[in-house]
Structure 1
Amino acid sequence: MVRKTPSKTVPERAARVTIIDVAKRAGVHWSTVSRALNPEKRHLISPEMIERVETCVREMGYRANALASGLRTQRSHTIGVIVSHLGDPVHPPIVRAIEDCFAEIGYVTIVGNTDNYPGRQGALIERFIRQGVEGLAIATFARNDPDVDVCVEANIPTVSVFRAAESELIPSVRVDDTRAMEIVVAHLADHGHRRIAHIAGPQNVSTGYHRYRGFRRACRARAGDGVSPSVVFAAEFTVEDGETACAQLLREHPDITAISAANDMLAVGALRHLRANQIRCPSQISLVGMNNMQFMDAIAPALTTIHTPTADLGIQAAKLLIAMINDTPIETNRIVLTPELVVRDSVARIRSVARSDADLAAS
């Protein structure tokens, strides 16, 4: 293992009754509690439901977030988008798509970067709420992130995009990361690769976790073909971690013939190590990335990768958020988009398999 994923620093919060607690007591979704307590929206639910919620509120001593309630009495026509880093080529298309969708209805988009710094996401959420944004699209949620509760308690429409918070409290829009790795392993196995490694992302975020699980599951499914996985964890989705992980991977597993990287940044780092050590790609080591970032077709060799429909992620997230802001029913709160393999030059059929095929053709 390269190094452990840094643990998320969670600020201590005073124990108090939240809107989520009231919803659980009443046996309803938190948005129903929100409507019951909002004079402008309580007509959307039955009088019996209103009475049930108000009873739970009294019994539990719930007090609404006064700051958030006050800020949301007027329409600001702004929304907030939080990403880990706009320098990551995955995020700009998502942000642009969200911005374009909201611009069509007269909204302004404010963007914040966390730089993967613990605590910065929570600070940005609080700042956006204070600024009176009408909704949030967050691409940085960890799995089971406590900041989800902050958004819910503030009664602010929130959508998780790209990375899923894996919470029933808010909708999410993501790509099928598990299926993506199944496609990668199948592609490599079909080219004769049996010793396949995976440079994984951090396991506290859905992208790293589900890609890792998808890789392992795909290898188990091809075990009858002799596919055997070797895994190295990288701490973050960075070029530097990809380089470090690849170095350790080849030291510990010199017999591998292919590497599946959990994103293109890690793949580029792995390719950097291969070049520095005169290891030819793809003739000695085949390499596959994930996300199909810009310019992956311009490096040498051009990177075979999985296309992540980033613009569609942003569009679908914007549609969900607009519906939530307008209190319009949504058909589903879990949107999962389909990944596609982009075949380029970084994967080759291993020589032993190529010779076997030639022998069969000759016979």
Structure 2
Amino acid sequence: MRAVTLKDIARETGFHVSTVSRALDPRARSALTDEVVQKVAAAAERMGYRPNRLAAGLRTKRTRTVGLVIPDITNALFPPIVRGVESVLEPLDYVSIIVNTDSSRDRERSQIGVLLERGVDGIIHAAVERDDPFIGDLERQKVPFVTVNRALDHSAAPAVVNDDAGGIREMMKLLVEQGHREIAHIAGPQRLSTGVERLAAFRAAAEAFGISVPEYYIQRSDLLVETEGRRCAEALLSLNRPPTAILAANDRLALGAFEAIADLGLDCPGDVSVTGFNDNEFLRLIPPGLTTVRVDKLGAGRRAAEVLIGLIDHPETAPDPRTVLPVELVRRGSVAPPRTGALEAQKRPGVA
């Protein structure tokens, strides 16, 4: 059976082929009346019309595809970002091609290569590292791209990020108001902008609130996973004078700290308060409920897609280099005032 064409719809509706083409293009139909658009759309659906993307791509030199690079498909942070991206792309007749790097540079290189071979019109990169060596390939080939949730150190590429400094400051304020003075930090990997910026924000907030933080109260994780959070928390809790609160750079690190606390026979928040960063609804179901900083994951995806479409449509217009989205403190059950004399009771042989 022969595929239905624009000419077939034009004959059926009595409109010119160019009018039919505009009516079926989400970005061009605004020039037509609603009556024309509805009549053409109804005829197209009735006749079973499906656009020939390959032919359109050859004509416009666009594939109407966008690559979306994520570092860990199992991380609950990223599905809402994907949904936000697609909420912008779909009405504009774009589709996303999602690739997963598993936080591996080798996989990142190969997956970006696949996207370029597929001829994507642009890339939204959520797995980027601060000095990512593969960004140069995109810049040399003039492929529009945006980073989301993370940023590059030395690049003009636009980034959509969260207010890391504001979130860490609000969490530090909460802990101080609860009476904590011995506050430690489990930092994210220092090859990521979030790891560096949240650590810097922790130091700045501690200074602002008059909290002295010895270097041994800062543990740097290698990956943003529970096992790393557990390792870092065990190191902190083995100190002669362990902290009464652990401010973790993300939720998965905080959940690992929960494990370490339980394994040592301690109680959260009775012996140690723990906080995270990012938030997800399921965190309220894990006792005692993680106090954390909520980021606008859906909004980040939406904004990243909007910026990218702007780069594709108007390459001559420079977008804002950095969009910072607001965050929100979410209080649950993992923070409480330190017990009176808790530090003395917790003293054990250790590093300090």
- For normalisation by structure 2, the TM-score amounts to 0.77
Residue 359 of structure 1 corresponds to which residue in structure 2? none
Distance 2:146 2:163 in 1: 17
Please give the residue correspondences for 1:1-363 in structure 2 after superposition, counting only pairs within 5 Å.
74-223=61-210, 230-252=217-239, 254-327=241-314, 329=317, 331-352=319-340
Q: Give the SS at the match of 1:237.
A: coil
After the TM superposition, which of the residue ranges 251-260 and 129-138 deviates more from structure 2? 251-260
Q: Retained in 2: the 8 A contact 1:219–1:228?
A: no
Q: Supply the AA of the counterpart residue of 1:241.
A: E
1:199 alignment partner, SS class? strand
The Cα shift of 1:127 comes to: 1.2
Q: Which residue identity does 2:223 align to in structure 1?
A: E
Contact 2:269 2:333 in 1 (8 A): yes
RMSD, aligned α-carbons = 2.1
Inter-CA distance 300–104: structure 2 relative to 1 (3 Å threshold) = same
1:316-350 alpha-carbon deviations (Å, 9 max, x no partner): 10000010111163552210111211011100012
Structure 2 CA distance for aligned equivalents of residues 352 and 251 of structure 1: 20
Q: In structure 1, what residue type is equivalent to 2:108? A: Q
Partner SS for 1:137: strand
Mapped contact 1:189–1:227 kept (Cα < 8 A): no
Describe the superposition over 1:182-234 as per-residue Cα deviations: whole angstroms up to 9, x where unpaired: 111111011110000101110010111111111111111122x6666711111
**Distance in 1 separating the partners of 2:82 and 2:327:** 19
- For structure 1, the 5+ residue unaligned runs are 1-69, 354-363
- Structure-1 separation of matches of 2:60 and 2:107: 27
> In 2, distance between residues paired with 1:247 and 1:111?
36
% of aligned pairs identical? 35
CA contact (8 A) 2:156 2:321 kept: no
Q: Which AA in structure 2 matches 1:152?
A: E
Structure 2 residues without counterparts, runs of 5 or longer? 1-56, 342-352
Counterpart-to-counterpart distance in 2, 1:242 and 1:95? 26
- What does the per-residue CA deviation read over 1:61-102, in whole Å, with 9 as the maximum and x for residues that have no partner? xxxxxxxxx999711110100001111000110011101210
- The code of the aligned residue for 2:265 comes to Q
| 1: CA distance, partners of 2:88 / 2:295 | 19
Asked which structure has the greater CA Rg, the reply is 2
Structure 1 residue matching 2:241: 3-state secondary structure: coil
8 Å CA contact 1:196, 1:228 repeated in 2: no
Indicate conservation of the 8 Å contact 1:78/1:108, yes or no: yes
SS of the equivalent of 2:84 reads: helix
1:283 positional shift: 1.0
Quote the Cα distance in structure 1 between the aligned partners of 2:284 and 2:105: 34
Equivalent residue of 1:104, what SS? helix
- 1:300-330 alpha-carbon deviations (Å, 9 max, x no partner): 0011000011001001100000101111635
Name the amino acid aligned to 1:261. A
